Amino acid sequence: MASVIVVGGGLAGLAATMSLARRGHAVTLLEARPRLGGRASSFTDPATGTLVDACQHVSMGCCTALHGLCETLGIRGLLEPQKRLWFRTPDGRESVFAADPWPAPFHLGRALLGAHYLTAPEKLRIAYGMARLVLESPDADPPLEKWLRKHHQTQRTIDRFWSVVLVSALNETVANAGLKYARKVFVDGFLRSRDGHTVHVPSVPLGRFYGDELRDWMLRHGVVTRLNCGVREVRSGGVTLRDGEVLHAETVILAVPFERVLDLLPQAIRELPFFSRIGDLTPSPITSVHLWLDREILNHPHAVLVDSLGHWVFTRGEVSPGRFYLQVVVSASRELKSLGRDEIQTRIVEDLKRLYPAMREARVLQAKVVTEHTASYSVVPGVDALRPTQRTPIPGLILAGDYTQTGWPATMEGAVRSGQLAADALT
């Protein structure tokens, strides 16, 4: 069996490592940070000492590769399925989105009909648009907004339905996105199976999610894991660490975020067209606003926000005596780029006051704004032309990451699938 170095301990690197270790390969996993999990990270709240996710990560029922990886590690039970979703508008009204015991795609018909923020004619337009999506070629990728308007979607249906779902799922606006992965979200998530739409939320911080069980699994399968181990250069046959140490292996799997790939390759390699196209991928940011309040303002564990600056709000309830924690996520948050953290916090708090009357009396005890500027690549029309395969033209060098060709957009599921495909490319 081949010796393999995997560079990067995010989901792509973990999936590649686990796939290869199960097949008997000698794997060394290198991670620059002091923990595994990559962008799925947590930080410690200094006031309470509790772990808090930098940004809330969720999956859906259609994310079968991710759930399979969690099953292998024995942490599937740490993902809590949300059988109901609450959609809330600034007038304080809520609609419950839940499936009926009918076959797909009819299982969600009543949920759409019950959406208070859409009129009856708008619901008919949306149903027509969904039907047209099913009939589209899976590889068609024109500009999404143009396609929606061609199929009789109005600004209100775009703002109150298509954007509500897709901006969070794709981390991109309808104005910028292509059709291909928007179609995949709806077909795989809502139309193909009864459980594909079910949102799964980790019941523990991500720092715990990728914790003891993962470390134990690696030890049992002979994986050498080196944390705080930054790599300076990757080449066929090995890597050079930042401290100058050289490690050799028959194969290197480079499993770092897309914006770091070219920096780790020798100039002669990164100038090859196969690799240089990666540099044309455009990043899309995510901002999360963490608030600790003196009271609970939500009646449910989460809410999808309509006509609001934020897209989702999640609550963990009382995390310490008299301190209630919630997080508001703003996907594709380019519009916040010019604002300071205080201004972002102020706007989110004002947003919550419109959404939740209890917020008007609440006191903010502590706040933190976290923006990941390169959270994902932008799924612009034709983005697949920029995404490389896992197998590269350089012998002994394989790529893994959600930016590679997986058939999925930039999601945890796409990252896991890329790692598994990278392992397959070797074996």
One domain, residues 275 and 388? yes
One domain, residues 248 and 327? no
Paired residues of 293 in beta bridges: 324, 364
Check residue 43 and give its pLDDT.
78
Q: Which two tokens stand for residue 135?
A: 């009939």
HSE toward the beta carbon, residue 236, CA cutoff 13 A: 9
What's the mean per-residue pLDDT of the chain? 94
CATH of the domain at 73: 3.90.660.20
Closest by CA position to 311, among listed 139, 109, 173: 173
Q: For residue 42, what pLDDT band results from cuts at 50, 70 and 90?
A: confident
Phi, psi values for residue 264, rounded to 5°: -95, -5
Q: Among 377, 394, 417, which residue terminates a domain?
A: 377
One domain, residues 324 and 397? no
pLDDT digits (tens, 9 = 90+) for 272-281: 999 999 999 9
Q: Which two tokens stand for residue 66?
A: 């991710």
Dist CA 210 CA 42 (whole Å):
10
Q: Among 194, 220, 250, which residue terminates a domain?
A: 194
Q: For residue 9, what pLDDT band results from cuts at 50, 70 and 90?
A: very high
CATH of the domain at 265: 3.50.50.60
**What is the 8-class DSSP label of residue 167?**
H
Q: Three-class SS of residue 93?
A: coil
Dist CA 271 CA 292 (whole Å):
48
One domain, residues 370 and 302? yes
Check residue 427 and give its pLDDT.
79
64-73 vs 412-426: helix axis angle to the nearest 10? 80
pLDDT digits (tens, 9 = 90+) for 290-319: 999 999 999 999 999 999 999 999 999 998
Domain that holds residue 353: 41-97+198-203+283-377
The count of domains in the chain is 3
CB atoms within 10 A of CB 414: 25
Report whether pLDDT(386) > 80: yes
Closest by CA position to 66, among listed 30, 17, 14: 14
One domain, residues 136 and 220? no
% pLDDT > 70, the chain = 100
pLDDT digits (tens, 9 = 90+) for 314-361: 999 998 899 999 999 999 999 998 999 999 999 999 999 999 999 999
Check residue 193 and give its pLDDT.
87
Range in 51-60, 123-132, 405-414 the model is least confident about = 51-60
Check residue 124 and give its pLDDT.
97
CB atoms within 10 A of CB 235: 17
Q: Which of 50-64, 84-98, 206-220 has the highest mean pLDDT?
A: 84-98
Closest by CA position to 282, among listed 165, 391, 176, 204: 176
Q: Which two tokens stand for residue 360?
A: 């008007």
One domain, residues 276 and 287? no
Check residue 68 and give its pLDDT.
95
Report whether pLDDT(47) > 80: no
How confident is the model over 164-174, as a mean pLDDT?
Answer: 96
Check residue 55 and give its pLDDT.
83
pLDDT digits (tens, 9 = 90+) for 251-269: 999 999 999 999 999 999 9
One domain, residues 161 and 27? no
Check residue 113 and give its pLDDT.
92
Check residue 65 and give its pLDDT.
94
Paired residues of 30 in beta bridges: 7, 226
One domain, residues 307 and 271? no
Range in 39-48, 54-63, 83-92, 279-288 the model is least confident about = 39-48
Q: Among 194, 224, 241, which residue terminates a domain?
A: 194
One domain, residues 76 and 109? no
Q: pLDDT: is 112 or 405 the higher one?
A: 405
Q: For residue 194, what pLDDT band results from cuts at 50, 70 and 90?
A: confident
Report whether pLDDT(53) > 90: no
One domain, residues 28 and 113? no
One domain, residues 90 and 157? no
How confident is the model over 212-226, as a mean pLDDT?
Answer: 94
Query: How many Å separate Cα 145 from the centre of its chain?
Result: 22
CB atoms within 10 A of CB 377: 25
Residue with tokens 């199960």: 22
One domain, residues 347 and 295? yes
Check residue 284 and give its pLDDT.
96
